[in-house]
Every structure is written in structure tokens, then in C-alpha cells.
């Protein structure tokens, strides 16, 4: 088999969005190649009871999940165990199909292991995604549904978009995520206010008993972000996912002046925001950390800071399909070194 280092050289000759589409095609076909799929599952999917957790009645075989944005239309779920993931998050889906923003809208910064995207919730719409989802749900690992409003939906009617999406996906996902923090839909981040959050989660809890999380941006003033998260939890949110991509373009020399940055450049900013939220909300709700995580040391750091689960996406572009395996094996080694018998003992240990 080719090493990923060799494959990456070929993939990086293509425009980032083209490379993504090639990867999607390969992952859609992978389950049909049973021998190869089984080989990759056996190689990459770490089965160790020390990593098992049950959260809100959902069983997570390991703490590393795929972040939203990669599998927008729920076409690659069957390949996620071959990549080692313990859970996956599809989307972001909108009620109606939309093409997203004009191209080019994705850019690589290989020297910084970072990516910039201005995709704009491009997806085939909730009805098509739901059809894809019904073919695989329930699945061997948990599936989260990340939902957002259409670009053309005004703030006045945004609540209705989320209502439509919750009703559609709550029966065919293990948890839901409210996305109002992407920088790529005009005025979406304006919904990160206490009034809208309170209305949204009050409505959501009437529509579903499934866990429903709020995903926040890393660019808010820290105290405001913490207060907003507290408001969400008080209004019924099951937890917080921190963070989405950043519009702090100073993190990357010669970055574009639009879209959101992810990957290694986001690592410290995301961690600092997560740490501030965890200081206030650890033990009161479930926290998921995402942003710049691509190795075991960073994953372990987030777990100790209070994350029950972590998510990754951009790191996989640079590290390849062994990334999640390496993270999980590394976490197990660090647990052994520090005398932890189960991942539940690691989570929040820096705060105890």
C-alpha cells in the first residue's frame, strides 16, 4: 500500500476542493471493497474498553470524532470506522439545497498544517441528506447532525429553519448540533446572542429528547462566550462544542480576507476559549473540544481540561488516515504513564 506521504503529494497537486471531492469518492466506494475496508477497520479502529464512554445513553467506543464540514451530505458514514473515528458528525445541512459561496473557496497552508475555507454550507438540502442518512442509521458508531439556516433565510425566520431541521433529523441521529458560528454565512454569527439562544433551545427541547449541542466561534470576547454558553445550558442545551473556525487572519501570513481558518494555526486560540468555558461549565454539562487537534498530546490536553470528547478534521488532511489511530494509541499510553485506568478519570483531571 502507498504511504500517505506519497498519496498526499499527489492530492496536493489538485485544488483543495477537488482533492476533497476525490477523497469523498474514495470513501463512498470503500465499503464496497469489503477486504480493504475490513483491513482498514482492523488497522485503524482501536477497540479498548479503557476508551469507552456512555454519554446521554450513547456509547462512544473512543473519544475522537469527525468534525462537521467533511461529510456534508452523509455519504461517507460507512467509512468512518476505517479511519478510526469513534463517532462522526455530518453536515452542516440546511433546509433547502444551496451551492455555497463562489469558488475558489478553500485554500491550503501546508507549512502551517492549516486550511482556510469559505464554503458557505454547501449541501444537497435536508431532504436528500435525510434519504442518505436513513440508509445507514442506526450505525455502529454514533452519528451527530450539524444543522444551520439557509443563506437566504433572514434572522427573523432563522428559528423556523432550525425547527424544520430538528424535526427532520432528530429520529435519525444520535445527537444534534446547532451551528450559528460559521463565518461563511452572512450575519449567521449575529445569532450568537442570548435572546436567540434562549428561544432556540427552549424550542429544541420541546421538539426532541435527543442531546442537542451549541457550537460556538473562537472569535468572541471570552467572557461573552462563557456567558452565552451558560445561557444555552440554562435554556436546555445538552453541551457545548468549542470551537468553530476563526476569522483571526493574523494567524496565517498572507491569508485570504474571507472564510474561516482551521488546523494547527487555530490550536492555541481554540484551546484558550475551551479552557475558559470548561472552567465555568465542567461538571455542569458535556463539553466537546475541536480546533487544531491532530496528535495524542493535544487530545490528552483537551481531555484533561474538561473535554469528554474531541473532534478533528483538518489534521487528517495533513496526517492521513492513521491520525485517529495514533491519537487513540497515544492517549492510552499517556493514561498508562499517569496511572489512569479509564478515560473517565482523565476527563477534567486538571480541574479536580
Cell of 325: 489511530
The answer to whether the annotation marks 342 as part of a ligand binding site is no
C-alpha 311/C-alpha 64 separation (Å) is 6
Alpha carbon of 58 to those of 83, 161, 253, 347: distances in Å?
A: 20, 26, 42, 17
How confident is residue 2, by pLDDT bands cut at 50, 70 and 90? low
126, 182, 262, 289: the catalytic one is 182
Separation of first and last alpha carbons in the chain? 45
What's the pLDDT tens digit per position in 234-267? Answer: 999 999 999 999 999 999 999 999 999 999 999 9
pLDDT of 152 > 70? The answer is yes
5 is in an annotated binding site: no
Which residue, among 241, 298, 296, 289, has the nearest Cα to 264 in the 3D structure? 298
Closest CA to 202 of 171, 169, 233: 233
Q: What's the average model confidence in pLDDT over 3-29?
A: 95
pLDDT reported for residue 265: 98
Residue 166 has which C-alpha cell?
430538528
Task: Please check if 118 is assigned to a binding site.
Answer: yes
Say if residue 53 is exposed, middle or buried (CB neighbours under 10 Å; 0-12, 13-18, 19+).
middle
- Which residue in this structure is represented by grid cell 454547501? 122
* Active-site residue, 238 included: no
Q: What is the model's pTM?
A: 0.97
* pLDDT in the model for residue 16: 97
Q: Any binding-site annotation on 348?
A: no
Average pLDDT over residues 168-195: 94
* SS3 assignment, position 230: helix
What local confidence, expressed as pLDDT, does residue 75 receive?
98
- What is the layout of strands, in order, in the sheet containing 260-263? 106-109, 114-117, 260-263
- pLDDT tens digit sequence for 99-122: 999 999 999 999 999 999 999 999
Q: Look at phi and psi of residue 350 and say left if phi exceeds 0, alpha if psi is from -120 to 50, else beta.
A: alpha
The 3-state DSSP class for residue 252 equals coil
For the segment 300-309, the average pLDDT, to the nearest whole number, is: 98
What is the per-residue pLDDT across 132-143, written as a single tens digit (0 to 9) for each? 999 999 999 999
The 10s digit of each residue's pLDDT in 214-240 is: 999 999 999 999 999 999 999 999 999
Q: With cut-offs at 50, 70 and 90, classify the pLDDT of residue 32.
A: very high
Q: What are phi and psi of 313, to 5 degrees?
A: -155, -65
Is 260 among the annotated ligand-binding positions? no
Query: Is the confidence at residue 1, as pLDDT, over 70?
Result: no
Question: What pLDDT shows up at residue 145?
Answer: 98
Tell me the percentage of the chain whose pLDDT exceeds 90.
98
**Which domains, from first to last, does the chain contain?**
4-351 (3.20.20.70)
How large is the average pLDDT for residues 319-342? Answer: 98
Amino acid at each position: 500500500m502507498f504511504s500517505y506521504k506519497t498519496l498526499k503529494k499527489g492530492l496536493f497537486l489538485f485544488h483543495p476542493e477537488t482533492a476533497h471531492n476525490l477523497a469523498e469518492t474514495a470513501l463512498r466506494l470503500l465499503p464496497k471493497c469489503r477486504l480493504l475496508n475490513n483491513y482498514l477497520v482492523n488497522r485503524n479502529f482501536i477497540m479498548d474498553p479503557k476508551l469507552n464512554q456512555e454519554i446521554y445513553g450513547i456509547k462512544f467506543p473512543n473519544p475522537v470524532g469527525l468534525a462537521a464540514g467533511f461529510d456534508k451530505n452523509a455519504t461517507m458514514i460507512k467509512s468512518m470506522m476505517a479511519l478510526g473515528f469513534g463517532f462522526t458528525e455530518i453536515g452542516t445541512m440546511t433546509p433547502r439545497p444551496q451551492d455555497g459561496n463562489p469558488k475558489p473557496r478553500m485554500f491550503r497552508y501546508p507549512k502551517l498544517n492549516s486550511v482556510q475555507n469559505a464554503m458557505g454550507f454547501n449541501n444537497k438540502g435536508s431532504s436528500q441528506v435525510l434519504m442518505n442518512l436513513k440508509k445507514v442509521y442506526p450505525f455502529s458508531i454514533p452519528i451527530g447532525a450539524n444543522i444551520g439556516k439557509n443563506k437566504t433565510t433572514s434572522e427573523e425566520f432563522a428559528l423556523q429553519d432550525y425547527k424544520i431541521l430538528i424535526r427532520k433529523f432528530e429520529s435519525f441521529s444520535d445527537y444534534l448540533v446547532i451551528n450559528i458560528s460559521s463565518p461563511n454565512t452572512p450575519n449567521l454569527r449575529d445569532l450568537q446572542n442570548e435572546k436567540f439562544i434562549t428561544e432556540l433551545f427552549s424550542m429544541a427541547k420541546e421538539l426532541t429528547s435527543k442531546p442537542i449541542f451549541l457550537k460556538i466561534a473562537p472569535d468572541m470576547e471570552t467572557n461573552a462566550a462563557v456567558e452565552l454558553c451558560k445561557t444555552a445550558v440554562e435554556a436546555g442545551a445538552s453541551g457545548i462544542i468549542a470551537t468553530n473556525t476563526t476569522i483571526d487572519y493574523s494567524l496565517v501570513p498572507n491569508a485570504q480576507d474571507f472564510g474561516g481558518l482551521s488546523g494547527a494555526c487555530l490550536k492555541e486560540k481554540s484551546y484558550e476559549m475551551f479552557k475558559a468555558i470548561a472552567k465555568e461549565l465542567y461538571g455542569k454539562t458535556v463539553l466537546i473540544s475541536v480546533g487544531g487537534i491532530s496528535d495524542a498530546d493535544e487530545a490528552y490536553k483537551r481531555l484533561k481540561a474538561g473535554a469528554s470528547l474531541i473532534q478533528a478534521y483538518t489534521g487528517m488532511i495533513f496526517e492521513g488516515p492513521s491520525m485517529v489511530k495514533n491519537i487513540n494509541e497515544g492517549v492510552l499510553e499517556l493514561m498508562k504513564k499517569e496511572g489512569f485506568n479509564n478515560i473517565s478519570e482523565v476527563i477534567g483531571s486538571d480541574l479536580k
